[in-house]
Structure 1
Amino acid sequence: MSIENELIARLTITFSPTRLEVVNESHKHAGHSGDDGSGASHFAVLIRADALAAMGRVARHRAVHKALGDLNTRVHAIALDIG
């Protein structure tokens, strides 16, 4: 399974989002620090879920990172837009 599909699956299973967008932005960082040449090093995630809406900003970020588990160490950068 691709990193992008793993991100989608873990967030969907954990939060049942009403909106989820995962964009691979690795091409924007080619040759920069953190680019491992895999084409799967930088992602942007937009997620909207009822389970996250009641949390504060820091709690939302912690919950998403917990759901992502080992992906936090396998991906160089994950930009989050959480609501």
Structure 2
Amino acid sequence: MAGGKTLVADEIRARLAALAPERLEVIDESARHADHSEDAQRGESHFRIRLRASTLDGLSRLARHRAVHNALGAELIGRIHALAVEFEA
């Protein structure tokens, strides 16, 4: 937390805990996009998630993405400019 404010990456980790991940990596890539995105200049706008969760086994790629988006919730998704999700085997 910075100044009592929850960081977006921390919120992502907390919400994805509902999927019981065996491995979860949340990478803030905002700085890589600062030169071409107003959102990125503010920070905490571009994220990459690397996730391994057996709770998602057997689901199609689309269903896994839907599960991640549902776990994050519309409000948090609305605050993120770009989100890349990678599923690990």
- TM-score, normalisation: structure 2: 0.85
Contact 1:17 1:48 in 2 (8 A): yes
What is the alpha-carbon distance in structure 2 between the residues aligned to residue 59 and residue 31 of structure 1?
33
> In the comparison of the two structures, how many residue pairs are matched?
82
2:36 aligns with 32
Identity %: 48
What is the alpha-carbon distance in structure 2 between the residues aligned to residue 3 and residue 41 of structure 1?
8
Structure 2: runs of 5 or more not aligned = 1-5
Cα deviation for residue 44 of structure 1 reads: 0.3
Contact 1:22 1:43 in 2 (8 A): yes
Q: Over the residues paired in the alignment, what is the CA RMSD in angstroms? A: 1.3
1:45 aligns with 2:49: yes
Larger radius of gyration: 2
**What is the DSSP-based 3-state SS (H/G/I as helix, E as strand, rest coil) of the residue aligned with 1:31?**
coil
Cα deviation for residue 39 of structure 1 reads: 1.2
1:82 aligns with 2:87: yes
- TM-score, normalisation: structure 1: 0.91
Moved over 3 A (4+): none
1:60 aligns with 2:54: no
1:73 aligns with 78
Cα deviation for residue 38 of structure 1 reads: 2.1
2:9 aligns with 4
Contact 1:34 1:76 in 2 (8 A): no
What is the letter of the counterpart of residue 56 of structure 1? S
